[in-house]
């Protein structure tokens, strides 16, 4: 299915290591209430350590890239947002990256794995992603690979 297929030949690590990679995650920002977990990413050792996000690689799915080309008009954008939280709900930081943008001068759609800097999230226990589009008919999918974090665990 095009909704779950990255708009590239494989996972991000293939591009950067030369080793074939078919593994990556597809995030779906399901608009139906109650259909998503409380948080999209959870640091499993939050009770005995800390997790500081470095970044990841992102790309569009084939379906999203095609839909953007079909419906975007001047001024339209597709953005992936990430927000970090501590286990008590305190926000730690936010970051965003443009997945597609259209203007009369330039039409850009992410077709390659692109680094997404997550250092602004700081130390986190949870991460929530959100796909925001100016066109509601563009589905909320984004491909994510190679999540990098600095983790410290104390016993």
The model carries a pTM of 0.89
Tokens for 67, please give them: 């839909």
Environment class of 39 (CB within 10 Å of its CB; exposed 0-12, middle 13-18, buried 19+): middle
> For 2-26, how does the pLDDT look when each residue is reduced to its tens digit (9 = 90+)?
667 787 777 887 766 777 677 888 8
> For 89-144, how does the pLDDT look when each residue is reduced to its tens digit (9 = 90+)?
999 999 999 999 998 787 899 988 999 999 999 999 999 999 999 999 999 999 99
Rama region for 34: left / alpha / beta (φ>0; ψ in -120 to 50; rest): left
Tokens for 135, please give them: 């066109």
Q: From the CB of residue 124, how many other CB atoms can be counted at a distance below 10 Å? A: 27
């Amino acid at each position: 299915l095009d909704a779950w297929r990255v708009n590239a030949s494989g996972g991000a690590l293939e591009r950067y290591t030369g080793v074939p990679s078919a593994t990556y995650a597809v995030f779906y920002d399901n608009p139906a209430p109650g259909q998503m977990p409380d948080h999209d990413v959870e640091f499993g050792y939050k009770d005995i350590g800390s997790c500081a996000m470095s970044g990841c690689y992102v790309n569009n799915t084939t379906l999203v890239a095609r839909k953007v080309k079909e419906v975007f008009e001047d001024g339209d954008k597709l953005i992936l947002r990430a927000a970090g939280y501590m286990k008590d709900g305190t926000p730690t930081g936010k970051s965003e990256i443009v997945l597609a943008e259209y203007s009369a001068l330039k039409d850009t759609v992410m077709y390659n794995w692109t680094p997404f800097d997550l250092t602004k999230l700081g130390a986190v226990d949870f991460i929530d992603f959100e796909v925001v589009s100016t066109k509601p008919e563009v589905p909320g999918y984004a491909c994510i690979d190679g999540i990098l974090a600095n983790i410290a665990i104390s016993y």
